[in-house]
Amino acid sequence: MTQTSNPTDWHPASWQTREASQQPLYNDSERLQNAIAALNRLPPLVTSWEIEALKGHLAAAQRGEAFLLQGGDCAESFAECSSEIIVQKLKILLQMSLVLVMGLRKPVIRVGRMAGQYAKPRSADQETRDGVSLPSYRGDLVNRNPFTAEDREPDPDLMLRGYERAALTLNFVRSLIDGGFADLHHPENWDLKFVSESPMAAEYHKIVESVSDSLEFFESVTGDALHSRRVEFYTSHEGLHLAYEQAQTRYLPHRERWYNLTTHYPWIGMRTADLEGAHVEFFRGISNPIAIKVGVGLGDEHLQALLHVLNPDNEPGRLTLITRFGAKNIEKHLPRVIQAVRETGSRVLWVCDPMHGNTESTAEGYKTRRFDNILAELKAAFRIHEEMGSCLGGVHLELTGENVTECIGGARGLKESDLARAYKSQVDPRLNYEQALEIAMLIAGHVRAQK
Ligand code: PEP
Ligand code: CO
């Protein structure tokens, strides 16, 4: 395998010489240094073996031989590090992946926005209410949401609490998977009541039956029970809070490379992709597979320069581009971006995030997304890639396994008036269990129909 050469002018703290946007301002630098030192001593959350295995799978997806399913909360919260919520999230991701395997006839790479998605970019450093200004809430890794001076003060120890929650989440996910939790044998038990009203009910039931049949066929041919085979599951989060990311970044002598061991697959968000900025500097030196969010504001030359800086050796599996234009803008922007990347000769994995370009606010002030816009952007992404001789290799979704009411539409026909009933997200609206499964089925159906 081609290996990215280690940049010699890089070290885990070299980002500190650059302008770092979206970072909390800690007032107590001694406590900050103590927290970083403690994090630095603690064992890593993931290993380089897992990271390199994932990179290999992503390289296959770049060649069109696999498909990425990446999903989870916009922001995880410490309070929701609970058995029920983790189980439900893992369950929906596994069920979606099975539907996609059947529809796409390709291996599906499962990645959670999980076990570390605790820091959020904000549009302003301060939030003002009734004439009082306090630091913005930047996620549980940084401060607390209630609007009091004490809660909003960035607390360095929260990085340790975040590391612990990530470790607890990952430990539970690994145990569930090892214990055969992926109970894919009984799709008839999937909660599909919601489709009974849908004109697509028959189609959904056909998919569920074919999942069942294929599992039986697979097991009778291989003599192997599928649940005894290890399902691979990887973690990802936005690599936003650089002190936290740096503290778990290690040089591994057996690989002669640096790895960020807080997660398998970090991404650079829309607001921190400045070429000269600290985030790009940090990401340049780690050997994980990484992703970049690409929205309407990212120009062609900027993107081309990012590809060069972040993957100078064009290493397979290293770079993913997650496009998030919105249903209204994808026709205009995706073709130019595909063309701009093509001009560089860079290998990338193309992934569509149909969530972040489709956010809107209701008259009552709820942030929401319409199922129809999400689906429209996904379908457009498949079509535009195909038309341009490129390949959409994955989807990136904000979802939860719970029965929340945050996005409008879907087979059950959630309306604006339903949002108040179970709106739980502190940040962006997520697809609920039913809507997420439905999206997977619609993708599977769409791709099969094109073949
Ligand atoms: C996100 O993924 O939650 C996010 C903030 O995305 P973006 O950087 O694309 O706006
Ligand atoms: Co979000």
With a cut of 80, say whether residue 130 has pLDDT above it.
Answer: yes
- Put residue 304 in one of left, alpha, beta given phi > 0 → left and psi -120 to 50 → alpha: alpha
Please name the residue whose Cα sits nearest to atom 1 of ligand 1.
Answer: 74
Q: Is the pLDDT of residue 334 over 60?
A: yes
Ligand number with the minimum distance to the CA of 430: 2
pLDDT tens, position by position, 199-258: 667 777 777 777 777 766 666 666 655 554 567 899 999 999 999 999 999 999 999 999
Higher pLDDT, 67 or 448: 67
Share of the chain above pLDDT 90, in %: 79
**Mean pLDDT computed over every residue of the chain:** 92
Range of the domain at 120: 14-450
pLDDT of 1 reads 42
* Beta strand 234-236 pairing with 108-113: parallel
Helix axes 157-178, 83-104, angle to 10 degrees: 60
pTM for this structure?
0.94
| 293 touches ligand 1 (CB under 6 Å) | yes
Residue 214 to residue 123: CA distance in whole angstroms:
47
To test ligand 1's pocket by mutation, which of 77, 122, 238 has the most ligand atoms within 8 angstroms of CB? 238
Say how many Å lie between the CA of residue 356 and the centre of ligand 1: 6
Residue 68: enclosing H or E segment and its boundaries?
strand 67-72
Residue 4 in any domain: the answer is: no
- Expressed in angstroms and rounded, the spacing between residue 267 Cα and the centre of ligand 2 is 13
**C-alpha distances out from residue 74 to 120, 163, 165, Å:** 9, 18, 16
285-305 average pLDDT score: 98
67-72 and 392-398 strand pairing: parallel
Query: How far from 54 is each of 61, 108, 383, 443, CA to CA, in Å?
Result: 10, 12, 27, 23
For residue range 155-202, what is the model confidence (pLDDT) as tens digits?
999 999 999 999 999 999 999 887 766 556 666 556 667 666 666 677
Ligand nearest to the CA of 119: 1
CB of 427 shorter than 6 A to ligand 1: no
- Percentage of residues in the chain having pLDDT higher than 70: 90
pLDDT tens across 393-409, in order? 999 999 999 999 999 99
Atom of ligand 1 nearest to the CA of 74: 3
Whether residue 354 lies inside any domain: the answer is yes
What band does 95 get if pLDDT is binned at 50, 70 and 90? confident
Residue 205: inside a domain, yes or no? yes
Distance CA 125, CA 21 (A): 10
At 291, is the pLDDT very low, low, confident or very high (cuts 50, 70, 90)?
A: very high
pLDDT at site 2: 44
* pLDDT computed for residue 380 by the predictor: 98
249: helix, strand or coil: strand
107 in a domain, yes or no? Answer: yes
Residue 9 maps to a domain: no
For residue 396, the CA-to-ligand 1 centroid distance in Å is 10
Say which ligand is closest to the CA of 427: 2
Indicate the top mutation candidate among 324, 395, 396 to test ligand 1's pocket, ranked by most ligand atoms within 8 A of CB.
Answer: 324
Mean pLDDT calculated for residue range 331-338? 98
pLDDT per position as a tens digit, 306-326: 999 999 999 999 999 999 999
Q: Which residues surround ligand 2, an ion (CB under 5 A)?
A: 74, 428
Q: Would you state the structure tokens that stand for residue 389, as one six-digit string?
A: 């001789």
Q: How far is CA 363 from CA 120, 123, 357, 366, in A?
A: 25, 21, 19, 8
| Total count of domains within the chain | 1
- 270 CB near ligand 1 (under 6 Å): yes
Task: Report yes or no on 1 lying in a domain.
Answer: no
Ligand 1 site, residue 412, Cβ cutoff 6 A: no
Q: Domain for residue 299, yes or no? A: yes
Does 390 or 88 have the greater pLDDT score? Answer: 390
* Per-residue model confidence (pLDDT) at position 224: 57
Residues sharing a CB contact under 8 Å with residue 30, sequence separation 6 or more, in sequence order: none
What confidence score (pLDDT) does residue 348 get?
98
CATH of the domain at 106: 3.20.20.70
What DSSP line would sit under 164-184, residue for residue?
Answer: HHHHHHHHHHHHHHHTT---T
Nearest ligand for residue 296 CA? 1
179 exposure class (CB count in 10 Å sphere: 0-12, 13-18, 19+)? exposed
Indicate whether residue 74 lines ligand 1 (CB < 6 A). yes
Nearest residue by C-alpha to atom 3 in ligand 1: 74
Q: Do residues 69 and 421 touch, judged by C-beta distance below 8 A?
A: no
The answer, yes or no, to whether any atom of ligand 1 lies below 6 A from the CB of 326, is no
The model's pLDDT over 29-49, given as tens digits with 9 standing for 90+, comes to 999 999 999 999 999 999 999
Choice from 114, 290, 292, 293 to test ligand 1 binding pocket (greatest atom count within 8 A of CB): 293
> Is the pLDDT score of 445 beyond 90?
no
155 with 137: CB under 8 angstroms? no
270 Cα: distance to centroid of ligand 1 (angstroms):
6
**Ligand 1 atom closest to 427 (CA):** 3
What local confidence, expressed as pLDDT, does residue 349 receive?
99
Question: What H or E segment, with its residue span, contains residue 101?
Answer: helix 83-104
Question: What's the confidence (pLDDT) of residue 105?
Answer: 87
What does the pLDDT read at residue 203?
72
The verdict on residue 2 lying in a domain is: no
b or e along 53-70 (b: 16 or more beta carbons within 10 Å of the residue's beta carbon)?
ebbebbbbbbeeebbbbb
The Å distance, Cα 219 to ligand 2 centre, comes to: 39
